[in-house]
Structure formats: structure tokens, C-alpha cells
Amino acid sequence: MPELPEVESLRRSLLPYIIGQKILNIKILKPKLVSDKGTKRQISESKTVEFINELTNETIIEIKRIAKNLIFVFESKKIMIVHLKMTGQLVYKSNIDLSINSGSQVVSGGHPIEESQSSLPHKHSHVIFTMENGVLYYNDVRMFGYLLFYPNWETLENSEHFSNLGLDPFEPSFTLENFKVKIKTKKAKIKSVFLSQEVVIGLGNIYADEVCFAAKVRPDRNTDTLTESEIESIYLQIKRIMPLAVSLGGSSIANYLLADGSRGNYAREHKVYNRSGEKCLICGHILEKMIINSRTTVYCPNCQN
């Protein structure tokens, strides 16, 4: 599943191609994807019809991000949320030649689906937006993702779609004082708290390991044992690592591509994630692993306390 840096990289990559375009036609082949966000979704004919009718002929003016959700904002103030979940993919295929020898431009981000490299649409193409200058495809192998329509921001906020989310590392509200207040309300393993997204969003399995290592704190420490200096160190490492990961395009460990089809390369910066049994790059001690919240967690028993 893409983590926050990967989603933010995708958002930035799509902006030059999508902004200012009007949706001329929408084809929905799997209605459950626009019916709800839960794991067990019931197909809603009324929501499917609403999705099509309300967003057809609408012009995209902005793409925002809340947590791992992409928020498409339209000129009329209408909203579309896109969450790729585990195997979702967005592919935009332009019908305009962007250079003399380029042919039509294709940009994609998300789970790499082999069929997308050779033919579009294909069997995993479930929602198709025909635009003025190209086509945007939402492809999803396991169909865990979703695309939801909201008439405006107020309706979205009242829906509590983003309730219980923590601080966003890229927002001004992510201050040391706010982080301290949030983390001191928890009494659980540090990595469990990160994975819950209730203190700070975007620290999934990869970045939770990397932040804990950089802060020299074991990921299985309980948050109520952290000293003031350790909390500050964790905060500072989040502030350093997350923007760096975005600037490098994310990690692309297993299945994440950027909108230009390339893989993120923050993986080259990993100090502990996926390196169990290898030597610590700082002290040379063999890195060990444990399971926290059913996720493999790698740490250095010598560098981290």
C-alpha cells in the first residue's frame, strides 16, 4: 500500500496534466467503487447515477491530499475523493503530442498493472473519465480502493470521513507542542501508535521503522516511557524524513509507481526497513526484527533504546 510520501508524489505528478480539464464522460464498470468506502460495500445505483451526473462537465481546478486520499476539487466546489488502497492505480493518457517524437503522453501512479503498459482500458479498468485532452483511468486489481463524490467541503466535513486523523507532517499544525500533546494521550507501542494514524498521519510500516531508527528509539517502546528529548527527536526525524521521501518520489518497495511511470527512490535511503539480518549502517550490529501489529518491524538493538 502506498504511504503518504508516495501519494503526495503522485498528486504533484498529476497536477500538470489534470488541472483545468473538463470531464466530458464517465464510465463506471464496477459501481461498488463509487458506493462507499468500507471493506464490505453494497452497490448503490443512486450513488452511481449521482456520481456520473454530478461530475460530468465539471472542470478540475485543484488536487489536494488528506492523509492518503487524493481530493479532486472542481470549479463548482464539488469534491471527488480517490483512495488507491492496496492495488489501485491512476493512469492518465493524453491525446495531445507533448513533443515531436513523444506520441500520446501516458502518466501513471499506484500499483503496477502489467496490462496498463500495453492496453487501456483493460480488465482492471473500472472507472474511466474521458476529458478534453485525454482519458483518466482508475484501475484496481483487488478493488479495495474507492472514488466518492461530495457536493462541497462542508458535506465532506460533516460526513466525518476523516475523523480521528492525527497531524499531517506537511501542515503548519504539525508543531512540536501539538505533537507532544497528541502522543502523550497514548499508552501503546510507538509503532502501533504511528500505524493507527491517530497522532500523526502517513507513518506506515516503512517510515515508522525509519523514524524510530533515526530517533534512536526502539519501535516497541511504550509511548508513556518516552522522555521529552526522545519525543522531540522523533518529531524532528518525522519533519526531516517525510519531506525528503516526497522529494525523492517515495520508496516504491513492492508496488508503487510515480505518475511518470518511474519508481520512487527513497528506498536507497532506508537504514532499517526490509534489512533484517544485515549490518546496521551506523554501528555494524546485526539488525533484528519483531512483529508489531502484524507488521514486520526492523530495528538495531544497539543503536535504539
Q: What's the pLDDT tens digit per position in 50-101?
A: 999 999 999 999 999 998 899 999 999 999 999 999 889 898 998 876 554 4
Q: Tell me which residue of 160, 162, 166, 168 sits closest to 182, measured CA to CA.
A: 166
- Rounded Cα gap, residues 49 and 52, in angstroms: 5
CATH code, 176-299: 1.10.8.50
What confidence score (pLDDT) does residue 258 get? 53
Q: Indicate the DSSP class of residue 41.
A: -
Under DSSP, is residue 118 helix (H, G, I), strand (E, B) or coil? coil
- Rounded Cα gap, residues 76 and 152, in angstroms: 9
- Rounded Cα gap, residues 115 and 286, in angstroms: 41
Q: Is the pLDDT of residue 110 over 80?
A: no
User: In which band, very low, low, confident or very high, does the pLDDT at 3 lie, cut at 50, 70 and 90?
Assistant: confident
What contacts 90, CB < 8 A, 6 or more positions away?
10, 14, 70, 82, 84, 108, 109, 110, 136, 137, 138, 139, 259
CB 168 within 8 A of CB 202: yes
User: In which band, very low, low, confident or very high, does the pLDDT at 113 lie, cut at 50, 70 and 90?
Assistant: confident
What confidence score (pLDDT) does residue 215 get? 98
- Rounded Cα gap, residues 296 and 292, in angstroms: 7
**Which of 237 and 110 is assigned the larger pLDDT?**
237
| Predicted TM-score (pTM) of this structure | 0.81
Would you state the torsion angle of the CA atoms of residues 42, 113, 103, 260, taken in this order, to the nearest 10 degrees? 90
Q: Do the bridges between strand 104-110 and strand 88-97 make them parallel or antiparallel, or are there none, so unpaired?
A: antiparallel
Under DSSP, is residue 193 helix (H, G, I), strand (E, B) or coil? helix
Q: Indicate the DSSP class of residue 279.
A: B
CB 179 within 8 A of CB 231: yes
pLDDT over 90 percentage in the chain: 67
Catalytically active residues are: 2-3, 68, 295
DSSP string, 198-211: SSBSS--HHHHHHH
- Rounded Cα gap, residues 129 and 137, in angstroms: 6
Would you state the torsion angle of the CA atoms of residues 244, 207, 304, 271, taken in this order, to the nearest 10 degrees? -60
Q: What's the pLDDT tens digit per position in 163-183?
A: 889 999 999 999 999 999 999
What number is the average pLDDT over the span 243-269? 61
Q: Which CATH architecture has domain 4-158?
A: Alpha-Beta Barrel (3.20)
Is 176-299 the same fold as 4-158?
Answer: no
User: In which band, very low, low, confident or very high, does the pLDDT at 254 lie, cut at 50, 70 and 90?
Assistant: very low
Would you state the torsion angle of the CA atoms of residues 28, 30, 35, 38, taken in this order, to the nearest 10 degrees? -140
Q: Is the pLDDT of residue 26 over 60?
A: yes
What number is the average pLDDT over the span 31-48? 93
- Rounded Cα gap, residues 151 and 38, in angstroms: 20
Q: Hey, what's the cell of 136?
A: 483518466
Q: What is the mean pLDDT of the chain?
A: 89
**Which of 152 and 160 is assigned the larger pLDDT?**
152
* In the chain, domain spans: 4-158, 176-299
